[in-house]
């Protein structure tokens, strides 16, 4: 029998969720959104820097994922699972399989667990043999995580199919949620005044990581020299863009990472939002851009179709054609009705008022088994 606390009829027991990543991004926003909008009392799981398995993407993590040190002991995870997490009747884990030691410690305590998959780590997208090895290890851990979970959630239909094909795991599709009303409070004038930027710019929100393809954004900017671009996200500096793209285009203004409120202001002040990721499960940035009433332009075959095709097929372009990217940007900026359709679409399908009840139903079903 599970060791989580027994549920009294009519009671909504506390549910643990996490680990809560400290860095800004779609995953953190999604976890915080569940905490804010679920009808259940949902409590975040925080993973201490005292653990040798912190942080998830650097340092010891690369050594572990490269296969040099597999099974590095993590006593902190055992303490967290045994002392802090046994109070919960159900846990909802998310994110990077870097935390496999914590997930396994939870399973040893026989606490029922739901796991949400936000992406699969494609080895063929790695930029080096070492990164390819790391991605293979990530997927091995993710498969293990899914196999041990009571239920698996994927954030899009395309990701559901890939998880079934790659891991043999059935899953329920529940997309990331967004707060459409909060997005509507973005103030474009506040952004342009604060940074001295003229309205009508194209906004890129991403990072310097290879999966986000900032080099494609730079190539598009060079191909569309008559438009100004603003780039927001970790590592998006002139120096880093020069490293990944040969040189930083003159019409790109990199601002680096910015608080979420500033990003929403930037979206509201932009003419359109440009995304260039190689692959997305479901893009919170794309949803928020649409919720700000702005068209979002993105490459085909990267996971954006599920979100953007119902809005306007012209927003999608072939990543290998700069001319097609230019045409999509021109179409987006000259079609104001596209922004209104996008806003209506995300309000109907991705607002927390729609997504939170789906999550709560899964919590209720899992608690009842």
| Among the listed residues 268, 269, 312, the one whose alpha carbon sits nearest the alpha carbon of residue 288 | 268
Contact present, 252 and 221 (Cβ < 8 Å): yes
pLDDT at 270: 97
In the chain, the domains with their CATH numbers are 15-177+352-368 (3.40.50.2000), 180-349 (3.40.50.2000)
Residue-wise pLDDT tens digits, 313-328: 999 999 999 999 999 9
Predicted structure pTM score: 0.86
> Could you give the CA distance from residue 36 to residue 69 in angstroms, rounded to a whole number?
38
**Full strand arrangement of the beta sheet holding 172-173:** 42-44, 15-18, 90-94, 113-117, 151-154, 172-173
Q: How confident is the model at residue 308 (pLDDT cuts 50, 70, 90)?
A: very high
Mean pLDDT of 163-169: 93
Residues 237-278 pLDDT 10s: 988 888 888 888 999 999 999 998 999 999 999 999 999 998
| pLDDT above 60 for 226 | yes
Per residue, the 3-state secondary structure of 271-327, as one string, reads CEEECCCCCCCCCHHHHHHHHCCCCEEEECCCCCHHHHCCCCHHHEECCCCHHHHHH
Greater pLDDT, 56 or 126: 126
pLDDT band at 127 (very low <50, low <70, confident <90, very high): low
What value does the mean pLDDT take over residues 288-310? 92
Per residue in 43-82, pLDDT (tens digit) is: 988 766 665 555 443 434 444 444 444 555 666 667 777 7
Predicted local confidence at residue 246, as pLDDT: 81
């Amino acid at each position: 029998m599970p060791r989580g606390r027994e549920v009294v009829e009519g009671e909504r027991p506390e549910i643990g969720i996490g680990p809560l990543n400290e860095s800004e991004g779609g995953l953190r926003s999604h976890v915080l959104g569940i905490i804010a909008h679920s009808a259940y009392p949902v409590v975040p799981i925080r993973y201490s820097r005292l653990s040798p398995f912190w942080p998830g993407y650097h340092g010891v993590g690369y050594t572990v994922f490269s296969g040099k040190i597999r099974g590095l002991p993590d006593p902190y995870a055992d303490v967290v699972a045994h002392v802090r997490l046994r109070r919960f009747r159900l846990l909802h884990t998310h994110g990077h399989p870097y935390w496999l030691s914590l997930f396994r410690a939870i399973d040893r305590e026989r606490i029922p667990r739901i796991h949400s998959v936000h992406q699969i780590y494609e080895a063929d997208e790695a930029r080096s043999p070492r990164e390819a090895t790391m991605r293979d290890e990530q997927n091995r851990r993710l498969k293990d995580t899914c196999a041990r979970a009571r239920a698996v959630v994927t954030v899009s239909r395309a990701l559901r199919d890939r998880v079934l094909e790659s891991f043999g795991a059935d899953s329920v599709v529940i997309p990331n949620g967004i707060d459409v009303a909060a997005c509507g409070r973005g103030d474009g004038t506040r952004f342009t005044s604060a940074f001295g930027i003229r309205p009508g710019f194209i906004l890129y929100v991403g990072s310097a990581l290879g999966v986000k393809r900032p080099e494609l954004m730079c190539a598009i900017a060079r191909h569309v020299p008559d438009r100004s671009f603003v780039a927001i996200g970790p590592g998006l500096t002139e120096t880093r863009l020069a490293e990944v793209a040969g040189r930083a285009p003159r019409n790109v203004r990199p601002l680096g990472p910015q608080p979420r409120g500033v990003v929403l202001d930037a979206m509201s002040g932009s003419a359109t939002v440009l995304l260039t990721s190689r692959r997305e499960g479901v893009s919170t940035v794309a949803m928020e851009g649409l919720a700000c009433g702005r068209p979002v332009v993105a490459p085909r075959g990267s996971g954006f179709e599920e979100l953007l095709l119902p809005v306007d097929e012209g927003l999608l372009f072939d990543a290998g054609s700069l001319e097609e990217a230019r045409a999509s940007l021109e179409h987006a900026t000259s079609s104001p009705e596209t922004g209104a359709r996008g806003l209506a679409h995300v309000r109907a399908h991705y607002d927390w008022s729609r997504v939170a009840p789906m999550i709560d139903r899964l919590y209720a079903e899992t608690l009842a088994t």
